[in-house]
Amino acid sequence: MASNDKLSGGEATFLLALTPFAWMLSGFTTAYLWNNFMVTALALPAITWVQGIGIDLCISWLTSHAASPKERDVYEHIARMFIIPLFFLAFGWIILAFTT
């Protein structure tokens, strides 16, 4: 990381390149959870992973907050992009295992 606690150009480019993959993972997670819980519990229509991306982006935009004063390094950004959706996917999978 650069000495001024901001992302360097290479780090920012790397994060930008990872963003579509993070969106796909989040969209898949949203669609998986929606299709396994909302469809069965509330009889709502199933969604595709592309619709999951759209729902995830809308909710993220509506609930986004101003950046915290503490700057994050590139590893924290990657963790937020991938670890959080994987956590919810795993948690939903575990819950689904007990409901069937």
Confidence label for 9 from pLDDT (cuts 50, 70 and 90): confident
Helix, strand or coil, per DSSP, at residue 18: helix
| pLDDT, average across residues 14-18 | 90
Domain-located, residue 2: no
Short-list 54, 49, 50, CA closest to 33: 49
- Confidence category of residue 33, pLDDT binned at 50, 70, 90: very high
Distance CA 7, CA 73 (A): 7
Residue 95 located in a structural domain = yes
Query: What pLDDT digit, counting tens, does each position of 36-87 carry?
Result: 999 989 999 999 999 999 999 898 888 876 555 566 778 888 888 899 899 9
Total tally of structural domains belonging to the chain: 1
pLDDT at 67: 57
Cα separation, 17 vs 71, in Å, equals 20
In a domain, 31, yes or no: yes
Asked if 1 and 57 touch (Cβ cutoff 8 Å), the reply is no
In residues, how long is the chain? 100
Residue range of the domain that includes 90? 9-99
